[in-house]
Structures are given as C-alpha cells and as structure tokens.
Structure 1
Amino acid sequence: MTEDKAPEYGELDEIVGFHIRLAHGAVYRHFTDTFVELGLTQKQVSVLWLVGENPGIAQIEVGTRLRMDRATTMTIVNRLQSRGYLRRERSSSDGRKQALHLTDEGSAALVQAKSCIAEHEAWLKSRFTDEEVEKLVEMLARIHE
C-alpha cells in the first residue's frame, strides 16, 4: 500500500467487531445462496439438526442450546411444524414441556440440508489451512461461550 492511499476502511480496519460483522455477512450470503432451493434459514437448519440428533428434546432446551429466546424458538418450531418437518409431543418426563421429533419429511430435509452444509463448509474452509480452521473455531468459541 502506498502512503498516499488510505486503507479501504480507514480506522474501521482496526475494529475487530467490524471484521467479524463483515465476515458474518459474507458467510450468511453464501449460506442463503446455497440453501435457496431448500427454503430454510440457518436457524431452521440448526433446529432440525439438533432435533435429529436429540429426538424428544424439549423445545425450551432447543432454544437454550441455540441461544434463542422463547418467541424466536416457538416461531421457528411452528414454521417447521407447518411445513411437516417436526412434530410436537408432550414430554414423557415432564408434561409441561414439548418434546420435538423429526417427521419423515423433516429427516429428508435434514439430509438435503447436510449436503448443502457440506458444500457451504467446503467454500468457507477453502480460505484457510486445516490448522487455521481449528484455530479459528477455537478463537470464535471464546467469543460465544
């Protein structure tokens, strides 16, 4: 860079949060493009995946694990249920809780989603070495944990 040319973002270039926001935007755009045919959002895929790996998980536990408030969790579960991907049952251990299960359609959608995730992850990881990916995940975990 020459002395007479300012950095593209000026002082913003020094702000870590700014770069995290730009990176998130790029990842989100690619995810959305990858999932356009499935018509699923990142949060919906996360819910399907979590329920698929934990049949009977309580709706409230899904929200807690994914760090979503109750209203957001309920909206996502309602949407997935209306598409025929999830079903709610009363929890056998606590009748006040809703246990979530994938339907056959939900399982099929999850298989497709996992294929799209693999494509998306390959795109993302292609920007880094294996060691960098491991370090990046470790560093990002420090922020969200």
Structure 2
Amino acid sequence: MIKSNDSAIGELNDIVGFHIRLAHGAVYRHFAETFANLELTQKQVSVLWLVGENPAISQIELGQRLRMDRATTMTIVNRLQDRDYLRRERSETDGRKQALYLTDVGADALAKAKLAIHEHEEWLKSRFTSEEIEKLVEMLARIHD
C-alpha cells in the first residue's frame, strides 16, 4: 500500500498513476506561480534553454530533442520569434533548414527564467534527500524513456 496523507481517497490510494497526477499538479501549480511574472510556459523555457545551449540548432532537431511534434515546435518558435526572443537564419550547413538563435531579449528572458527555475527546483528538492532525488529521477526516467 502506498502511504498518503489523505485516507479519504480509499482504493485510489493504491493507484500509482493517481499519485503521479497529484504530484504533477502540485509541481505544475508551483511552476506557474513562480513563472507568473515572466509570461513563459514550461515548453517555451525549454526551447529558449536548448537554443541558448545549442546556437544554430534546427527547428526539427529542437522538436526531436524536446519530444514535441512539428506543429507544436513551430507554434512555440513562432511565438518566441514574435516576442523577439528567437531569430531564424538559414543554416550554414544545410540551406533547407532554419537555424535558431537567441536574441539579446531572449537571452535576458532565459536568464530570468533560469533564476525562477532555480527557485522552483529548490522548493521541489527541499522535500527529498540528495539520494532520494537521484533515485526519483532514475525512477521517473523509466516511465518517460
């Protein structure tokens, strides 16, 4: 039986997926509160971060690395470009592809987002020991890999 603070949920207490959903909800709410002033979504931050670490990454490779379909990737890139966070240039290595780069405004937004992520991660990690965090990440990877 899974331990829970809420005995009123009956047999739901034994459903692993139910606890994952509750945990996801709590993490997402805290993330949304932490990021409220930045007006960025988790996916947008992930895109900025990956482009910042990989200047000239193609839109296709970006979507593959973040496990997003082409339409979602294009929508996010378009929105970030409309906000002057990203710019597209023709790839120097493959003229059929668009290379993505952070603008100065995008780099500033990413820096602010990283500070917010640090705050969010501190909140989340404060619930676990270092060993538990390592094991939790390992176990969650079994689900999403």
Give the structure 1 partner of residue 3 of structure 2: none
**SS at structure 2 position matched to 1:68:** coil
Gaps of 5+ in 2: 1-5
CA–CA distance in structure 2, aligned partners of residues 19 and 53 of structure 1: 33
Corresponding letter in the other structure for 1:115? L
The percent of aligned pairs where both chains have the same amino acid is 77
CA–CA distance in structure 2, aligned partners of residues 75 and 105 of structure 1: 19
More deviation, 89-98/103-112? 89-98
Moved over 3 A (4+): none
**How big is the shift at 1:8?**
2.3
CA–CA distance in structure 1, aligned partners of residues 79 and 29 of structure 2: 22
Give the structure 2 partner of residue 95 of structure 1: 95
Gaps of 5+ in 1: 1-5
Give the structure 1 partner of residue 73 of structure 2: 73
CA–CA distance in structure 1, aligned partners of residues 54 and 114 of structure 2: 16
CA–CA distance in structure 1, aligned partners of residues 10 and 61 of structure 2: 43
CA–CA distance in structure 2, aligned partners of residues 58 and 128 of structure 1: 37
CA–CA distance in structure 2, aligned partners of residues 97 and 11 of structure 1: 52
TM-score in terms of structure 2 length? 0.94
CA RMSD after TM alignment: 1.0
CA–CA distance in structure 2, aligned partners of residues 10 and 90 of structure 1: 57
Give the structure 2 partner of residue 7 of structure 1: 7
Give the structure 2 partner of residue 142 of structure 1: 142
How many pairs are equivalent? 140
